[in-house]
Amino acid sequence: MGIRLSALDNSLWNLGIASGTIGDSGNEMLGLIRTYNWLTEVDSEDGGAINSRYAIHDALGSKTTFDGELLVGAAGARKTGLSVSLFSIGGSDQIGRLESGSLRFQNETFEAAGIGDWNDYPQIVGTEFTAEGELMIDGTATWAELMANATSQSTLEVVASITVNAVNFQAPMLLKSAGFGGGHRAPNKERVSLVGRLTSAGMTAPTYTSGAYTLLQYLLYYPAGSAGRPLRIVPGGDRAYAASNVILLSSDIQFGRRQLLKQTFSGQVQGAATVGDATP
């Protein structure tokens, strides 16, 4: 029986983002990655005839996707919920009541591969962003009350402003849902969710701080029609998994009281991925 590879054998996880730095050194993200997955799969269709009892699948094409979870900040100095300094909805800062929350972006894509292409080639055509928060209730009016009393959309239109690790996100949003509840020996809490309603000039650009660049920021400002960035992973042994072009499909940043900041992400290869010798 041979030696099995483990997480300790991972030696490289590099996403080649040119406009900014993610990770401990350049775009090397190995020091931030907690978990990740790489998956190649084929689309197929049953080609069995009318009298075929058993399926006879034929391959139609291939795609490669990846996902994972990142921490924020260098080892020994990870960023936590204490790095969240602003959670404002409609000009009212809720940071004193906030227990947890998230900010998420998701790209919509269309398939740009032609009839003769074996590999998928997704291209970005739009971006959706959402925010959520769980807050303690202190006797003041809740967002659930505001939503219940709303009689028009204008009542639900707010500007959300969230600052995480000294990087600010601000945009016009729409209150999507709000509710509250309680439990045995627990504080009453309300939960609020918002969705974006961005005009072309409606977003205040995040203030980039040295060492604080995140995948979330990159996804937000990545030009929709651009080619992707290179990705290279060495999970151990002598093999490297690589792609010349990948795009991020989604990314979110999650924060909570007495918790480390975490980012989840997912993406897809544009065209072919390769597996070969790990030697650069």
Query: 164-220, pLDDT tens digit by residue?
Result: 887 788 888 999 999 989 999 998 999 999 998 876 555 555 544 444 556 766 666
pLDDT of residue 211: 47
Provide the 10 A C-beta neighbour count for residue 218: 20
User: pLDDT over 70 for what percent of the chain?
Assistant: 85
State whether residue 149 is helix, strand or coil. Answer: helix
Bridge partners (DSSP) of residue 264 are 69, 252
φ, ψ for residue 128 (rounded to 5)?
Answer: -110, 140
According to DSSP H, which parts of 6-160 are helical?
143-149, 153-156
Average pLDDT over residues 70-91: 89
Residue 224 binned pLDDT confidence (cut-offs 50, 70, 90): low
The whole-number average pLDDT for the span 54-80 is: 92
3-57 pLDDT, tens digit per residue, is 888 999 998 888 876 444 455 445 578 888 999 999 999 999 999 999 999 999 9
Which letter, b or e, does each residue of 55-71 get, where b requires 16 or more Cβ atoms within 10 Å of its Cβ? eeeeeeebbbbbbbebb
